[in-house]
A and B are shown apart, each in its own frame.
Chain A
Amino acid sequence: MNKADLLDRYVGSPIYGMAPEHRLAIVLVAATVMAAGILLLGARRQHPPAVRIVERYRALPSLYRFAAWLLAIVSAMNLGMGLGRLAGPGTWLIAVGIAEAAILRRLLTGRSWRWPLASVTVVALTVNLGLAVAGITVDQVGFLTALLEATVLAVVLRTVEGGRLRRLAASIVVVGAVGFTTLASWGGAVVAGLGGEKLGETPLPGVLLPKGTNRPPTPREQELADRFWRDTAAAIARYEDVAVAAADGYLVEAIVGSEFHAENPRYKSDGILLDPARPETLVYEETPDGPVLLGAMYEMEEIGDEGPMFAGPITVWHAHDHICFGVLPPAITGFESPLGACPLLSVSFPVTNEMMHVWTIPGVDDPYTELDEEVLDTYLEHRRTGP
């Protein structure tokens, strides 16, 4: 498969991408930069309005000139995003964009601009929070806009007059603004992606689903899914004993935490697919009474290979993107931040091979999707207290 086509086959969380309706924001930023160029040209040709604006700009100290550029860009981005989605949050974004343009005008004309800017930034951050609560994912364009707004806020707050405590408080506000924006971004993405496991749904951050449209399964597909589940449950029951799993090559020496994935390196490269007797990975839960087997995970060997949906919309495979893989020690360390980085000593994998879980514990409505935490808790409680 052509590598460039690989990711086009999937739907991922918007937190790592750009919503199509935000393309106008990019166009407006480009137009803003061109307008600045035209202004400079006009000043060189001694057109009085252009001369006035450029002279005022050049009279500003470096930090305020930097702030002027940022204000122009974020104003264009907010206007572009707002015009791209006129219903709901679009109105707020347009209002913020117009306010930021007005503040830029105040900056260039020597009027008070710092506290109006701080106020508008608070409104902008509140809009971000509202989007998160409403389950609207802030995409990369929105997140970049918020970061640039936090940077302009830093210009205002870091140059505040006063003692050390006041300056420290101002610094904490800026650090908090960046952290708050990041948290809101995650929150919106998680709310939007919760339960997104079927074709046509929005997945959680870090999950890729094949493009397609969901539909009810046929009776034959349901029968195939049920049979495969029974076969898997029967075949892996012996791996409740981790010693048996270890003897067959599963890496069960250090089972920690919830839904620990114990791989079998031999089965991951044996060329055999969907064999209940040889699943590539077993999934365990760490408990005070020892590891508890939750199910199996089947995997495609190569990145880009499509998992066979043998039972139609029931058996949907998924891949992961923007996954952080630590090098010391080798382990998954999380998902890439919307800020675009993984923890130190980790690298970001853009895409993994496809995989499919089969949960074998009793009480699971759909054993091929995400494990329900309530069902898991009930099962573990039942095991703890006995029949």
Chain B
Amino acid sequence: MDASHPSLDGPVAVASLLLFVQGAIAVALASEAVGAAIAFGGAPAPGAILTVAGAVATLVLAGRVRGHRRSTRRWILAFEIGWIVLAAVDLLLATFLADRGLTPVGFAVRMALPGAIIWSLRRPAAKVAFGIGEAADGQTEFPDRAQVPA
């Protein structure tokens, strides 16, 4: 692939990739949740079903982010903040009960990864791509929506 291809460059490209990886992680978590629900309770529990829905939602958002719709960006930001809030709850519990933090992978997956996605989508270049801001010279830096591959 040509290294100058628009799908490789810019914070939106990085956000898209990170979202996809997050989706892959969510699929793994959903599989574990369903397996555990069946093992512990004999049937998928509400939490397991929600986890599956969360995995599907993540992959859908990962596929839509390159459409550069503002609503998609808002959904993603809200979703990622949700990930971080849930991680903060577990972190508070672990700190309160045992003076411990999250596991290293837990921190990377539940705080660093959502944080990186939020950071990427809030970059000025990403805002320009979503039609929210303008580049310093008043020109948009990225191809307009019609040219961006789906």
Contacts and interface: CB of A to CB of B under 8 A. Distances in A.
Nearest to B34: A343
Nearest to A67: B17
A155 B9 CA distance: 12
Nearest to B30: A343
Given A147-B108, A178-B27, A347 B90 contact: yes
Contacts, number: 182
Contacts of B1: 159-161
A344 B100 contact: no
B139 interface: no
A6 B103 contact: no
A345 interface: yes
Interface stretch (A94-102, A137-145, A369-377): A137-145
Given A158-B17, A331-B40, A64 B8 contact: yes
B52 to A, nearest CB: 9
Contact of B99 (A4, A60, A336, A345): A4
B13 interface: yes
A66 interface: yes
B81 interface: no
Interface string B68-112: 000000000000000000110110011001111011111111100
Contacts of A60: 3
B104 A18 contact: yes
A346 B9 CA distance: 38
Contact of A179 (B27, B87, B93): B27
Contact of B90 (A159, A344, A348): A348
A269 B28 CA distance: 38
A3 B47 contact: no
B98 A333 contact: no
Interface residues of A, number: 62
A14 B13 CA distance: 35
Interface in B22-41: 23-25, 27-29, 31-33, 35-37, 39-41
Contact of B93 (A328, A331, A334, A347): A347
Contacts of B20: 154, 158, 171, 174
A335 B103 CA distance: 14
Contacts of B54: 344
B104 A344 contact: no
A324 B103 CA distance: 14
Nearest to A26: B104
A179 to B, nearest CB: 5
Interface in B95-147: 97-100, 102-110
A178 B21 contact: yes
A348 B21 contact: no
Nearest to A177: B24
B97 A351 contact: yes
Contact of B106 (A61, A171, A340): A340
Contact of A339 (B25, B35, B94): B25
B13 to A, nearest CB: 5
A347 B106 CA distance: 13
Nearest to A173: B24
Interface of B: 1, 3-5, 7-11, 13-14, 17, 20-21, 23-25, 27-29, 31-33, 35-37, 39-42, 45-48, 50-51, 54, 86-87, 89-90, 93-94, 97-100, 102-110
Interface of A: 3-4, 6-7, 16-18, 60-64, 66, 140-141, 143-144, 147, 150-151, 154-155, 158-161, 171, 174-175, 177-179, 182, 256-257, 303, 322, 324, 326, 328-329, 331-351
Shortest 5 CB-CB contacts between residues of A and residues of B: A340-B106, A334-B36, A343-B33, A345-B47, A61-B8
8 contacts: A60-B3, A64-B3, A66-B17, A155-B17, A178-B27, A182-B28, A337-B32, A339-B29
